[in-house]
Structure 1
Amino acid sequence: MTQLIQLKGVAKRYDGTGAPVLGPLTLSVAKGEALAVTGPSGSGKSTLLNLVSGLDRPTDGAVIVAGRRIDRLSEHALARFRRAHIGMAFQFFHLLDDLTVSDNIQLPARLTGVGRREAASRAGELMEMLGIQQHARACPGRLSGGERQRVGVARALVNRPELLLADEPTGALDTASGHDVRDLLTDLHRGGQTIVLVTHDLSLAGAVASRTIHLVDGHLTLDTHARAVR
């Protein structure tokens, strides 16, 4: 099975001398897997996601994503790598309120040099797939939380990334909207999308993930696979 993510002896210290906030950690994530990362606040979940995305660099060890050792890439090369291989969905959406839903979704594609017509076509496909096509010309501020998260996921997927990273994607949502996003992530995983999901919500992890790891004080304390194929 192809390993999309490999962390080899990874540790992260922020003060340079103290105990690491994460690791040392060795971990692999296979292509097509949906991994949930759980644990209490301060356990290293967000640090792990930042290392996998290249937004942060390890103090020790190697981070390999899609066959590239990303901790050795320059900032410019990392930005290009992220645009091509990684999509990111955030707890608070980070949408641009002065752009329409369609333009928000197209933005990462346009930044990679995709033409306007092709980007608009891809955004249209995603909006239809995620059930938000009726909001194409609306601004995000007019949408519900669940709808805005769907826009955020569509934006994350517009460049057809191999890896989708989701950081507490239901954390700012009401229960009904959270269920919508849960169902969306489940459907994406069933379609073959590789997902790494950071969440405090064990019910979300149980519904979406084929595998769950638990971190405590930066160390891996549990690594379990779902009993049934979803």
Structure 2
Amino acid sequence: MTNAPLIDLRDTTKKYDDGPPALAGVTLSVASGECVAILGHSGSGKSTLLNLIAGLDRPSSGSVTVDGTRVDRLGEAGSAKYRRASIGMIFQFFNLLDDLTVLDNVMVPAQLAGMGKGEAKRRVIELLGSLGIDRHVKAYPQRLSGGQRQRVAVARALMNKPALLLADEPTGALDSSSAEDVRRLLLDLNSEGQTILLVTHDVQLAASTARRTIELVDGAVERDVINYGNGAGLAARTPPTRQTGAVG
């Protein structure tokens, strides 16, 4: 048994050119079972952080470890395998394939991972049932509401039972009612033990969904706080570690 965090970044910096870094010496950890929101305005470094954790990019210095894997040391093939095995991702604009049914969209990750068709189909039906959209299994995405499409995207993200669910502005393209449905869905998933990293610029969504909020400013951690009472109050977790002179 180990108490190692699920996500562990150590002095992680990312530079894209000769200017200030997009991410500036960030050190943070996320425990298994946590729901953590990464908050910040455009250019704060949120997307860079997400890409490093997802293995879509490599840091210029420092380390990125997720679920025991040194993600920063992986090659292209290793990164793809890591994402299939350990990461589920949901996005603002769903990223569903319009020419595939709901069933086939959700099955894509399983097919890429080599899961048998029968097993994959059973897993899809189980997920869609738990998310309340099993009646749409034969529908095409364009026939669904925004909230329903996001639920399909969540099912797809959970298909391979990932250790970590990355949610990148998951309510940004939804009306208020659908956004509330997705927020409650994330809360339910976390209550069942799913580790979630929620990336958003929406302070209210962060405070009402995550138990902890990490705010990035200019590529560095400005504050790291615990959200009490579903976001009703905030209490300091760690002192600010912001480094100046960086841009996201």
TM bucket normalised to smaller:
over 0.9
Corresponding residue of 2:184: 183
Q: State the AA in 2 paired with 1:9.
A: D
Mapped contact 1:95–1:140 kept (Cα < 8 A) = yes
Corresponding residue of 2:127: 126
What whole-Å deviation, never above 9, does each CA across 1:92-133 have from its counterpart, x for those lacking one?
Answer: 111001110011001101110001110000000110011110
Equivalent position SS for 1:47: helix
C-alpha separation in 1, matches of 2:79 and 2:183: 29
Q: State the AA in 2 paired with 1:163.
A: L
Q: CA deviation at 1:226?
A: 2.2
Mapped contact 1:34–1:194 kept (Cα < 8 A) = yes
CA RMSD between the two structures = 1.2
Mapped contact 2:52–2:58 kept (Cα < 8 A) = yes
Equivalent position SS for 1:131: coil
Mapped contact 2:208–2:230 kept (Cα < 8 A) = no
Corresponding residue of 1:160: 161
C-alpha separation in 2, matches of 1:153 and 1:203: 21
Mapped contact 1:89–1:166 kept (Cα < 8 A) = yes
Equivalent position SS for 2:228: coil
Corresponding residue of 1:34: 35
The 5-angstrom pairing of residues 188-227 of structure 1 reads 188-227=189-228
C-alpha separation in 2, matches of 1:228 and 1:27: 23
Q: CA deviation at 1:210?
A: 1.3
C-alpha separation in 1, matches of 2:71 and 2:210: 25
Equivalent position SS for 1:92: coil
Corresponding residue of 1:7: 9
For structure 2, the 5+ residue unaligned runs are 232-248
Corresponding residue of 2:246: none
**Paired positions, count:** 229
Q: State the AA in 1 paired with 2:10.
A: K
Q: CA deviation at 1:228?
A: 4.5
What whole-Å deviation, never above 9, does each CA across 1:120-175 have from its counterpart, x for those lacking one?
Answer: 00000110011110100000010000100000010000000000000000001111
Equivalent position SS for 1:147: helix
C-alpha separation in 2, matches of 1:21 and 1:186: 30
Structure 1 residue ranges (4+ consecutive) displaced by more than 4 angstroms after TM superposition? none
Mapped contact 2:92–2:171 kept (Cα < 8 A) = yes
Q: State the AA in 2 paired with 1:218.
A: G
Mapped contact 2:207–2:230 kept (Cα < 8 A) = no
Q: CA deviation at 1:201?
A: 1.5
C-alpha separation in 2, matches of 1:95 and 1:33: 27
C-alpha separation in 2, matches of 1:81 and 1:206: 30
Question: Structure 1 stretch 198-207 or stretch 128-137: which is displaced more?
Answer: 198-207
Equivalent position SS for 1:195: strand
**TM-score after normalising by structure 1:** 0.97
Q: CA deviation at 1:76?
A: 0.3
**TM-score after normalising by structure 2:** 0.90
For structure 1, the 5+ residue unaligned runs are none
Corresponding residue of 1:92: 93
